[in-house]
Structure 1
Amino acid sequence: MFALQSTDDLNLLLDILPESIRKILDTHSERDRLIEVVLDLGRYPEARFPDGSKYLSEIPVSKEDLQYCVERVGIFSGDNRAGIERTLHRISALRNRSGEVIGLTCRVGRAIFGTIDMIRDLVETGRSILMLGRPGVGKTTALREIARVLANELDKRVVIIDTSNEIAGDGDIPHPAIGRARRMQVARPELQHQVMIEAVENHMPEVIVIDEIGTELEALAARTIAERGVQLVGTAHGNRIENLIKNPTLSDLVGGIQSVTLGDEEARRRGSQKSVLERKAPPTFDIAVEMLERQKWVVHQDVSETVDTLLRGREPSPQVRTVDEQGKVVITQEKPQAKPAAAGQLPFGTATTGTRGSSRGGWRSSGRLPALPSYKRNDLGGAVPLEPVPDAEPLSEHQQFDQLLNDSMADSYAMEEMGEPPVTGPNGEDLPLHVYPYAISRHQLEQVIQTMNLPVVLTKDIDSADAVLALRSHIKNHSKLRLLAKNRQLPIHPVKSNSLPQLIRALQRMLRLDSSGTGEVADLTLFYRDADEDEIEALEEARLAVEQIVIPKGQPVELLPRSAKVRKMQHELVEHYRLKSASFGEEPNRRIRIYPA
């Protein structure tokens, strides 16, 4: 049962007001529903209630009235906010250019017990929660109640970062509404991120509660805290998750956004532009709650899934939690509704083809293309004049694995929506496909298969296999493997390395999830059958440059220095695309430059 209990110290707030205004409010019929009192110099005093505003007097507010109020409240901090000791009331000041107070907003602070019953099950999971909503919808009230429940009822070590003394009230002694939770005050608003880190380093919290994350430094501090295993509960500026995605300052809270350039086949498979937006990393907060109204909240239980869905131009399907007339929490699932784009308008998750794909965290770090070691000091996405571009900050192995699998699963889903789900193996075999891995990391293969839910079974017996997956170097050097596969009429699928992108693409090709057919390495092997590993790598560099930069963007690209033999092979490959190339520089730094048509 959803039961709210409200406590306030309204009389203490009314005591700071001039006597003429206080007497009117003392006898006002809606006194208990008062939200705030507004006093502006030269204007009538105004009281605001849930259903509208009303003037309290026909006598304009004077400087003496404002001074009377200022003398009875605490010290105004750098954000022009003050309070009344051991209460939750907030007094905010308007100042003129010389610093004099010319207006006051006296907001009633109430501790409402039971307000988080709608999401209590989520609070108890220990996952980080982000509260979103317009001003006045009750975000701070919900934070205060969450802190009390976690500290008192779940017996956790809770520290509140109280920048404006709005959560735990003014004064050195916090308000009883936060229970056993501890409160750290912030001397100046711009130091909030430092106090957040200090709380983790000095006071061993299990939970940190933060109100109004609004700067890039605070977002970075929040991520640092989350990566240390501390549960975060906070609010941010923005009504919906879409607002955070579009906000470059706070987008890191939901994983960060980066521009990625797709290959031709993948762009066709997705039905999108070649340059798209994708999530850069796991989100700081696991759960997001959009507080649309006081008794209607939208819950996204998996922020990463919601963000990925939005970036792919689809609508998410979150929970909607409301309270009915009997006080019971009603949970419904919101059905996604397609939003047709206006004429000439791109889907939410696409960027124009002119977007620079090699910006921070660009196409190389996205996992979309193989990251060749030779690319580390040469960004193929650079415009002329060609200049080295710093490498993106590397993701951890766990983050890279999650990102690659999420992208690949999304591609598989897109293929299924286009009516091309895999129904048989590469040669018409019944699924699941039995694969014999040779010189391949079995652990990584099992992770890919399990996470992507692929119909593939790994076998240690080549006699029961439907296909062989092997490193290309071992296929060349081990004639016995080729002979065994030939006698059993098994297809061999080569991969260049044990890297995750190679394994994912190989399995997708085997199941015909990759409409490009044979992979890029296989194509180059056919083009130059006698090429060694270094030569194939150089050809791969040229192919990526042509297909990702020169053709789609019309920009010239300069490759790494190579030997005369390798440069000749690169020239021939460029001619295959009907493009022009030229060598320049002195040995041993002579290299080729590829020009657009």
Structure 2
Amino acid sequence: MRELLEVILDLGRPAEARFPAGDVLLNSHEVTEDDIQYVVARIGVFGDDNRAGIERTLHRISAIRNRKGKIVGLTLRVGRAVFGMIKLIDDLVFSEKSILLLGRPGVGKTTMLREMSRVLADEARKRVVIVDTSNEIAGDGDIPHPAIGHARRMQVKTPSLQHSVMIEAVENHMPEVIIIDEMGTELEALAARTIAERGVQLVATAHGNTLENLVMNPTLSDLIGGIQTVTLGDEEARRRHTKKSILERKAPPTFEIIVEIQGWDRVAVHPNVAQAVDNMLRGVSIAPETRWVDKAGKLHRSHTTAKPLMTTLPEKALGQVTGGRITKILPFGVDRGKLQQVVRGYQAPLEVVNDLKEADLLLTTKSYYRRGPVALGEAEEAGKPVYVLRKNTLPQLEEFVRGISRSATMTEGSSDSLLTAVQEAEEAVGRVLEGETSVALTPQNSYIRLLQHRIAQRHNLGSASSGQDPHRRVVIQPR
């Protein structure tokens, strides 16, 4: 029962208990209206957000209503105070910088927020005010739960007024820290900026899994500075090698630090949000700091960057892995059968292994990398390169194997010719941006032509191959 997450009561269905490992039916009897009313009569009053609680506990009960407003389902969520949960980020909590927590539902955002409230109020001795919209941080009732320590709690009459209570907290109660759960509207984002500009430390949670989600969210993007389209002058566009209309950050971020909660014992930290957003808008890979705690309670950190395969890793870099011998690959989240099929088809000097200790590199997908599983952390700790495919598809696997195969047979002279071809493409891009109608490059093999096409694409220029092998070449021109 210590791992119980929720109990589900739906009219006409058996009651169900949810655990991290899966769901369990409590019995075979269908839930009746009397069962639901029995529960409703013993809890607090449901608010406009259809949430209620049990006085002086951290549990939350959410209602599902039919069209007539009658309750036909209940979600009884277990609330817990987990002391010591912020061990992963305790240095950030005491940094006096504003922190935004991101993560999927049920990953522990509110639990971590509650523990941060207690630590800041009791250990850092700061004046902490919690804006508790759904009474989920400090529990239901007028007396807050002891889990928040000496922090003060302000309740919100209705969720739509959360932004006004945030401003009221600053104006009336002189806080040094304000804690907010579930920021999701533009008004709340604007209120958060107002509070941050008054020198108050903000600690909040928001909807989204990663920093990329916030950048793409027009409602909440103001939390990380806002995104705007800027038109550059001709000279500046040529200097940057970009098109004239680009995306830039509009203002300083409201939150200086973002923590992506990937699990109870694993987070990814962006310690400098402004720099991370700027790099993302320029198309540069960002490198969040991954932190995790092992079974012995030891804290580990890693700064490995997720790199898009074959777009930021040229053949020369792949050659450093292979070293002219058979490369052993451990697939993680990648179809092993497809990978072996491609390796056989290309007769590549590769071997698919099952043990990380034998592997020269680990191959995974973008979706698996973002989850931050333990295997990736172990690979990073052991210094093994981690190559990230965009998708677990046959074309992506073929591209990866082709790159490894070529790098294994590449001589020093061919490395020099690759570098020369790339430099030639970069120079041609500069000439086209300065006004030339088209620039024809030196004839190259198909792989180098592919790299040259991608260089043109990166600078928003058009490119085409012309001629017949071995005299086939790339022509770069404006779009």
| Length-normalised TM-score, structure 1 | 0.52
Could you tell me which residue of structure 2 aligns to residue 333 of structure 1? 303
Contact 1:75–1:82 under 8 Å retained in 2: yes
Name the aligned partner's letter for residue 188 of structure 2.
E
Aligned mate of 1:320, from 270, 290, 293: 290
CA deviation map 1:285-341 (0-9, x unaligned): 000000111111000000000000000011111210000121011111122413678
The answer to whether the aligner puts 1:253 opposite 2:245 as a matched pair is no
Q: Given the alignment of the two structures, is residue 48 of structure 1 paired with residue 18 of structure 2, yes or no?
A: yes
Identity %: 65
Question: Structure 1's 262 and 289: CA in aligned 2 closer, same or farther, altered over 3 A?
Answer: same
Where does residue 195 of structure 1 map in the other structure?
165
Q: Whole-Å Cα distance in 1 between the matches of residues 12 and 167 of structure 2?
A: 45
Match of 2:305, SS?
Answer: coil
Matched residue SS, 2:52: strand
CA distance in 2, matches of 1:67, 1:309: 54
Work out whether residues 259 and 275 of structure 1, in 8 Å CA contact, stay in contact via their aligned partners in 2.
Answer: yes
SS in 2 for 1:111: coil
CA offset digits 1:539-568 (Å, max 9, x no partner) = xxxxxxxxxxxxxxxxxxxxxxxxxxxxxx
The superposition leaves residues 23-49 of structure 1 with CA deviations (integer Å, 9 ceiling, x where unpaired) of: xxxxxxxx2211110000001110000
Do the aligned partners of 1:140 and 1:167 also contact (CA within 8 Å) in 2?
Answer: yes
1:164 to 128, 134, 137: 134
Q: Does 1:84 align with 2:54?
A: yes
Contact 1:151–1:179, Cα closer than 8 Å, also in 2 = yes
User: Which runs of 5 or more residues in structure 2 are unaligned?
Assistant: 312-421, 425-432, 435-479
Does residue 106 (structure 1) correspond to residue 76 (structure 2)? The answer is yes
Q: How much does 1:284 deviate?
A: 0.1
Task: Tell me the SS of whatever aligns to 1:244.
Answer: helix
Alpha-carbon separation, structure 1, partners of 2:194 and 2:239: 37
> Which residue number in structure 2 is paired with residue 270 of structure 1?
240
CA distance in 1 between partners of 2:103 and 2:243 (Å): 32
Task: Spell out, residue by residue over 1:201-257, the C-alpha distance to the aligned partner (whole angstroms, 9 max, x if none).
Answer: 000000000001100000000000000000000011111111111111100000000
Structure 2 partner of 1:304: 274
Give 3-state SS (helix, strand or coil) of 2:82's partner.
Answer: strand
Amino acid in structure 2 at the alignment position of 1:243: N
Runs of 4+ in 1 over 4 A off after TM superposition: none
Equivalent AA in structure 2 for residue 195 of structure 1: V
3-state DSSP of counterpart to 1:67: helix
Aligned to 2:343: none
Amino acid at match of 1:83: G
Aligned to 1:58: 28
> Partners in 1 of 2:114 and 2:278 — Cα distance?
31
Distance change in 2, residues 1:202/1:418 (3 Å): farther
Counterpart in 2 of 1:74?
A: 44
The change in CA–CA distance for 1:315 and 1:42 in structure 2 (over 3 A counts) is: same
**Residue 283 of structure 1: aligned partner:** 253
Alpha-carbon distance, 1:85 to partner: 0.2
SS at match of 2:17: strand
Which letter maps to 2:231?
Answer: T
1:353-387 deviation digits (Å, cap 9, x = unpaired): xxxxxxxxxxxxxxxxxxxxxxxxxxxxxxxxxxx
- C-alpha separation in 2, matches of 1:93 and 1:263: 55
Instruction: Give deviations 1:22-80, integer Å, cap 9, x for gaps.
Output: xxxxxxxxx22111100000011100001000111111100010000000000000100
Matching residue of 2:315 = none
Tell me the amino acid that sits aligned with residue 47 of structure 1. A
Pairing partner for 2:93 from 119, 123, 132 = 123
The one-letter code matched in structure 1 to 2:27 is S
Q: Which residue of 2 aligns with 1:376?
A: none
Aligned equivalents of 2:170 and 2:276: distance in 1? 29
CA–CA distance in structure 1, aligned partners of residues 65 and 304 of structure 2: 45
Please name the residue that 1:145 is paired with: 115
Structure 2 counterpart SS, 1:314: coil
Distance in 1, Cα, partners of 2:276 & 2:263: 21
What corresponds to 2:153 in structure 1?
Answer: 183
**What residue identity is the alignment partner of 1:122?**
L
Distance 1:66 1:81 in 2: 15
1:338–1:272 CA distance, 2 compared to 1 (3 A):
farther
Amino acid at match of 1:107: R
Say which SS state the counterpart of residue 335 (structure 1) adopts.
Answer: coil
* Structure with greater strand share of residues: 2
Alignment partners' CA distance in 2, 1:323 and 1:87: 28
Q: CA deviation at 1:180?
A: 0.2
Residues 54 and 92 of structure 1: CA distance in aligned 2, closer, same or farther (over 3 Å): same
Q: Return the index of the structure with the highest Cα Rg.
A: 1
Shift of 1:274: 2.0
3-state SS of 1:269 partner: helix
Match of 2:65 in 1: 95
Cα displacement (A) at 1:83: 0.2
Whether the 8 Å CA contact 1:314–1:338 is kept in 2: the answer is: no
Query: What SS does structure 2 have at the residue aligned with 1:39?
Result: strand
What is the rounded CA distance, in whole Å, between the counterparts of 1:87 and 1:170 in structure 2? 6
Separation in 2, partners of 1:267, 1:59:
69
Q: CA RMSD in A?
A: 1.7
**How many pairs are equivalent?**
316
- Superposed CA deviations along residues 405-460 of structure 1, whole A, max 9, x for unmatched, are xxxxxxxxxxxx989xxxxxxxxxxxxxxxxxxxxxxxxxxxxxxxxxxxxxxxxx
Letter of the 1:166 partner, please give it.
Answer: E
The structure 2 residue matched to 1:207, chosen from 177, 201, 208, is 177
Given residue 161 of structure 1, which amino acid in structure 2 is its aligned partner?
Answer: V
CA contact (8 A) 1:80 1:92 kept: yes
Kindly tell me: are residues 98 and 418 of structure 1, through their superposed partners in 2, closer, same or farther at Cα, counting changes over 3 Å?
A: farther
